[in-house]
């Protein structure tokens, strides 16, 4: 657990131990991963041969997904011709992340898929794999905002990745700012009532 102080409050940051898999979200891409020891997603239940065909087909945007397995597993999507990991013995291609171009046309209401849209879709697919990697590696967090009396004023879980870029700290600080604002309003009301009876 990590604790940050903000305006006299503590923000306790902890790992989310019961996260929801990002593969349950409304993803653009489909994952097809193959491993003897892990029960990875295979969204369309395709074979490895079919995955190779999709990777080479002009009807899809497809990106190879590599894995590194050494005590724990991590994955990465990349077009690199070499493994994105330094260890060739514990890493290799696990499968693909892909989307049919018809699905792209429907999603963006486009007849033609431009280079710009192809780049955007590629980045989205890589991002979906990165988010799933964060799920696999436990890089998911939550916060509990604690006032000066040791009382929780609010908490939230399910932040993927770095606490700064995921919005966790911003949300926790916003919760604290709201609590401070509410307390100031209550104190003002109490003072006004007291003055009314003076």
- 135-179 pLDDT, tens digit per residue, is 999 999 999 999 999 999 999 999 999 888 999 999 999 999 999
Q: How far apart are CA 93 and CA 82, in angstroms?
A: 10
User: Looking at the predicted structure, is the pLDDT value of residue 28 above 70?
Assistant: yes
Is pLDDT of 121 > 80? yes
The token pair at 47 is 């074979």
Q: How many other C-beta atoms lie within 10 A of the C-beta of residue 46?
A: 18
Residue 115 pLDDT > 70, yes or no? yes
* Domain regions of the chain by residue span: 2-19+141-197, 22-137
- The reported pLDDT for the residue numbered 125 is 98
User: Distance between CA 48 and CA 33 in Å, rounded?
Assistant: 9
- Band the pLDDT of 84: cuts 50, 70, 90: low
pLDDT of amino acid 1: 76
Which range, of 73-82, 85-94, 126-135, 182-191, averages the lowest pLDDT?
A: 85-94
pLDDT of the residue at 27: 97
Tell me which residue has tokens 């916060």: 143
Instruction: Tell me the residue length of the chain.
Output: 198
Strands 73-77 and 60-69: antiparallel
Q: Give the rounded percent of residues in the chain with a pLDDT score beyond 90.
A: 75
DSSP 49: H
Indicate whether 8 pLDDT > 80. yes
Q: Is the pTM of this model over 0.75?
A: yes
In the predicted model, is pLDDT for residue 55 greater than 90?
Answer: yes
| Helix/strand number for the chain, H first, E second | 4, 8
* Paired strand residues for 5: 10
């Amino acid at each position: 657990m990590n604790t940050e102080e903000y305006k006299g409050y503590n923000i306790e940051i902890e790992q989310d131990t019961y996260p929801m898999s990002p593969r349950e979200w409304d993803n653009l891409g489909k994952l097809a991963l193959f491993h003897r020891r892990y029960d990875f997603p295979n969204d369309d239940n395709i074979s490895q041969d079919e995955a190779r065909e999709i990777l080479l087909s002009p009807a899809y945007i497809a990106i190879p997904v590599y894995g590194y397995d050494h005590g724990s597993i991590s994955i990465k999507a990349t077009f690199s011709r070499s493994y994105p990991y330094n260890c060739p013995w514990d890493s290799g291609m696990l499968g693909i992340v892909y989307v049919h171009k018809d699905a792209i046309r429907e999603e963006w209401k486009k007849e033609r898929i431009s280079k710009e849209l192809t780049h955007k879709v590629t980045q989205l697919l890589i991002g979906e794999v990165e988010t799933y990697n964060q799920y696999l590696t436990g890089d998911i967090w939550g916060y509990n905002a604690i006032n000066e009396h040791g009382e929780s004023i609010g908490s939230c879980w399910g932040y993927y990745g770095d606490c700064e870029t995921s919005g966790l700290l911003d949300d926790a600080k916003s919760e604290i700012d709201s609590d401070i604002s509410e307390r100031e309003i209550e104190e003002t009301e109490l003072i006004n009532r007291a003055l009314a009876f003076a």
